[in-house]
Chains A and B, each alone.
Chain A
């Protein structure tokens, strides 16, 4: 049974290599980018509400394309490029972006007060982050959960709620980004 023992050892080894290769591959820069985008965007709701729509109309799609670029650059730097993984990430976040855009369009008729629309958008983002945490990158799970809590906070708390939620989310994204960087250092 020598041959089989060697075969079993080889298969265990291959499985280990495969597991190591499929661990989270999002670059830290991506987390830091969204921490900054979210912080500015959420603080604006409390301090410059008239700029919020313009800000997110530009920052949302720009952040999406910047993220796609950062992901592509990261894949080249780490020497691991998977078109199917890239497609999955792009489709997921594009769907979230479209869902948010549709929510804004639906609310345009006046069927939804602006405060409620913002909470609904946060809820959609929370769902987007949570499902990304389930299927793409485990570290986004608790960011999504925090966003869900945030969508309740902004409907209950009236004073500087968006600023508080924005700071909490930015901190959680920075921590997730640092965690990502540290775990990569440990595996290389």
Chain B
């Protein structure tokens, strides 16, 4: 899902941002998974300071969009969910970050 944003009041071309990656927890998870191949749910929760319920909901959105893949396994009889970024997720994140950079550059230009 893409959303068009206008920078300030200046007459600037639109920049498309991925709505799914606009949420702090979702972009945080995507960036962390781009840096590390696999992260467990508890590790993501600790790094992103999220609650179980909120992170679970955000990760499900990324999973439904095909941006992340989840894998469940048992460690010492306890279930552990591991997440990894898919090729689609990597492309989306890369595009989103490039667009963010453009947006920031334009915003700087508009401020000056």
Contacts and interface: CB of A to CB of B under 8 A. Distances in A.
Interface of A: 1, 3-4, 7, 9-11, 13-14, 17-18, 20-22, 76-85, 188
Given A3-B5, A4-B107, A79-B80, A17 B39 contact: no
Q: Does more than half of chain A's interface fall in helix, strand or loop, or is it mixed?
A: helix
The interface centre, meaning the residue of A9, A81, A188 with most chain B CB atoms within 10 A of its CB, is A81
Nearest to A22: B35
Contact of B35 (A7, A82, A188): A82
A21 B100 contact: no
What are the 6 A-B residue pairs with the smallest beta carbon separation, nearest first?
A79-B40, A79-B43, A82-B36, A81-B38, A17-B47, A10-B24
B37 interface: yes
A78 B40 CA distance: 8
B24 A13 contact: yes
Contacts of B104: 4, 7
Contacts of B92: none
A79 B100 CA distance: 29
Contacts of B35: 18, 21-22, 82
A80 B28 contact: no
Contacts of B107: 1, 4
